[in-house]
Chain A
Amino acid sequence: MNALRLKTGLAEMLKGGVIMDVTNAEQARIAEEAGACAVMALERIPSEIRAHGGVARMSPPELIERIMGSVSIPVMAKARIGHFVEAQILEALGVDYIDESEVLTPADETNHIDKHAFKVPFVCGCRNLGEALRRINEGAAMIRTKGEAGTGNVVSAVQQLRAVLGEIRRLQGMREDELFVAAKELQAPYDVVRDVAESGKLPVVNFVAGGISTPADAALVMQLGAEGVFVGSGIFKSEDPARMANAIVQATTHFDDAKILADVSKGLGAPMRGIAMEAIPEQERLAVRGW
């Protein structure tokens, strides 16, 4: 039995799709109906977490179960960084994927969860290649760039995706002996670094999250090389969530066809308002969580 293949395999099935944050069964059904390939069950979407303040924790089990019972597509849920007991609880609930997420308040400022110890697969956030490879080494079966959740601003997502893919391209141009130093600089195991240099891609599926709020945003990161997108506040904080959700699904599939993108971008109403990055103090940025 190749346990990792089953974990990464589900991520392969999600590719080219949109994973949507939902906070109740009704939103989950709207997301499924709109063509989401999975949903993320949450008590509060990131923009609400941002506004609410306090400690953000794993969502209540009964909320997650209600959402699991309301849709046939995979259901993901978030555990705090390093909070392996929240992860054990989510696994016991039978969720399909756990997101060890910087959107929640970290439970451990040094260690992430040992994800090899679980049968359920994990997705983890990253801002650069080093973070991605450390998470993969800990057992993450899927990676997403973090972006800056709850802002409706795609700028961080773009910067981080370019960072990850740019660093991979840089590795590809290196001599074998230079990869040792690269591994040291990336703070990632040499074997994983060498594999990435050889294949030119991460060994797991790579999605983009944090700030996607229009079909054009989704197509932008797909054209840059993302394999799919997470959309949080961008859907249920827009004027017409069902329509926006559907348009983002269409744009993620037809990301390379500007005529279709123009077509699906029509008649959507207002997207979420969004926040400029300068308006968010450094200590309130979520993407810096995780190490």
Chain B
Amino acid sequence: MKIGVLALQGDFAEHAAMLDSIGVHPVEVRLPADLDGISGLCLPGGESTTMRHLIDRWALRQPLLEFAATGAPIYGTCAGMIILAREIADGDEPVLPLLDVTVRRNAFGRQLDSFEGELPVPLVGDTPVRGVFIRAPVIERVGPGVDVMATLDDGRVVAVRERNIVATAFHPELAGEPRFHRLIATMAAEHDDPGEGSGRRHHPTRRAGSAK
């Protein structure tokens, strides 16, 4: 299976290495034609303003939205989460409004406020996730169709899923944490070859009461 990594700017090599380590063939995506033949897509960390610029310059916006509309999974980390948000607090226009959330950029402050911490993410397993937050965003509003996957101790939302779209404010690709990429690979396999009885694309991960 091939999963793309948007390779305009940022830590796309780390996402590719993570995919490679779980037996998925990573494909660098820089132009619309690179989307052909991939079953899912990772949007890496980096600078969202830079990525926004490059997405527009090379007319990637529409092809990416069409790719998402096929139901193929898309996973955004940090800047990738900002790219996927329907609303960006304080001004910026959305880039790919695929996730019904409001994101705040640099929500914790500057680099000196970057931090690491353990956080439970039941959807990916019992062992907590090592969250690496680098000038990270947070999610300030969660739409009704969005599942919250993880929050900080103070309740701030840092990981979400809405249908085929997954986003985390932290960087599993920097922490040797493969479970999010495995989740995307599983969703991509399911998308490529829907199993029996899953013709109505239900979402086994949605927990009662988790939607706000």
Q: Would you give the 0/1 interface string for B41-58, flagging 1 where the beta carbon is closer than 8 Å to chain A? A: 000011101100110010
User: Within B52-81, which residues are at the interface with A (CB < 8 Å)?
Assistant: 53-54, 57, 78-79
- Cβ B115 vs Cβ A6 within 8 A: yes
- Cβ B30 vs Cβ A254 within 8 A: yes
Is B106 among interface residues, defined by CB-CB distance under 8 A? yes
- Cβ A5 vs Cβ B54 within 8 A: no
Known contacts A94-B110, A253-B9, A13 near B46 by CB under 8 Å: yes
- Cβ B47 vs Cβ A17 within 8 A: yes
Q: Which residue of A lies closest to B13 (CB)?
A: A15
Of B50, B54, B112, B115, the contact of A94 (CB 8 Å cutoff): B112
Q: Which residue of B lies closest to A12 (CB)?
A: B11
Known contacts A35-B49, A250-B57, A13 near B112 by CB under 8 Å: no
Is A147 among interface residues, defined by CB-CB distance under 8 A? no
Known contacts A16-B8, A35-B49, A74-B135, A10 near B54 by CB under 8 Å: no
- Cβ B112 vs Cβ A17 within 8 A: no
Q: Which residue of A lies closest to B105 (CB)?
A: A72
Q: Which residue of B lies closest to A250 (CB)?
A: B57
Is B7 among interface residues, defined by CB-CB distance under 8 A? yes
Instruction: Number of A interface residues at 8 Å Cβ cutoff, please give it.
Output: 37
Q: How far is it, in angstroms, between the C-alpha of A9 and the C-alpha of B171 when the chains are bound?
A: 9
User: By CB atoms of chain A within 10 A, which of B10, B47, B115 has the most?
Assistant: B47
Is B167 among interface residues, defined by CB-CB distance under 8 A? no
Q: Would you give the 0/1 interface string for A2-35, flagging 1 where the beta carbon is closer than 8 Å to chain B? A: 1001100110111111000000000000001011
Is B177 among interface residues, defined by CB-CB distance under 8 A? no
B115: shortest Cβ distance to chain A, in Å?
7
Q: Which residue of A lies closest to B7 (CB)?
A: A16
A226: shortest Cβ distance to chain B, in Å?
13
Q: Which residue of A lies closest to B46 (CB)?
A: A13
Q: Which residues of A contact B121 (CB under 8 A)?
A: none
- Cβ B114 vs Cβ A10 within 8 A: yes
Q: Which residues of B contact A9 (CB under 8 A)?
A: 114, 132, 134, 171, 174
- Cβ B10 vs Cβ A119 within 8 A: no
Q: Which residues of A contact B198 (CB under 8 A)?
A: none
- Cβ A96 vs Cβ B135 within 8 A: yes
- Cβ A6 vs Cβ B134 within 8 A: yes
Instruction: Number of B interface residues at 8 Å Cβ cutoff, please give it.
Output: 34
Of B9, B110, B175, the contact of A15 (CB 8 Å cutoff): B9
Q: Which residues of B contact A240 (CB under 8 A)?
A: none
- Cβ B134 vs Cβ A253 within 8 A: no
Is B190 among interface residues, defined by CB-CB distance under 8 A? no
Is A249 among interface residues, defined by CB-CB distance under 8 A? yes
- Cβ B115 vs Cβ A13 within 8 A: no
Is B140 among interface residues, defined by CB-CB distance under 8 A? no
- Cβ A73 vs Cβ B53 within 8 A: no
Q: Which residues of A contact B105 (CB under 8 A)?
A: 72
User: By CB atoms of chain A within 10 A, which of B49, B105, B111, B114 has the most?
Assistant: B111
Known contacts A13-B78, A32-B49, A5 near B132 by CB under 8 Å: yes
Q: Would you give the 0/1 interface string for B2-36, flagging 1 where the beta carbon is closer than 8 Å to chain A? A: 00000111111110000000000000001000000
Q: How far is it, in angstroms, between the C-alpha of A1 and the C-alpha of B114 when the chains are bound?
A: 11
Known contacts A6-B134, A253-B9, A12 near B111 by CB under 8 Å: no
Q: How far is it, in angstroms, between the C-alpha of A13 and the C-alpha of B78 when the chains are bound?
A: 10
Q: Which residues of A contact B13 (CB under 8 A)?
A: 15
Is A157 among interface residues, defined by CB-CB distance under 8 A? no
Q: How far is it, in angstroms, between the C-alpha of A12 and the C-alpha of B115 when the chains are bound?
A: 15
A112: shortest Cβ distance to chain B, in Å?
21
Q: Which residues of B contact A15 (CB under 8 A)?
A: 9-13, 46
Is A91 among interface residues, defined by CB-CB distance under 8 A? yes
Is B116 among interface residues, defined by CB-CB distance under 8 A? yes
Name B's A-contacting residues (CB within 8 A).
7-14, 30, 45-47, 49-50, 53-54, 57, 78-79, 105-106, 109-112, 114-116, 132, 134-135, 171, 174-175
Given contact pairs A6-B111, A13-B11, A17-B10, enumerate 7 new A-B contacts (beta carbons under 8 Å).
A15-B9, A15-B12, A73-B50, A94-B109, A120-B111, A249-B54, A250-B54
Interchain Cβ contacts under 8 Å between A and B, 8 examples? A13-B45, A13-B135, A15-B13, A16-B8, A74-B110, A94-B112, A95-B110, A249-B50
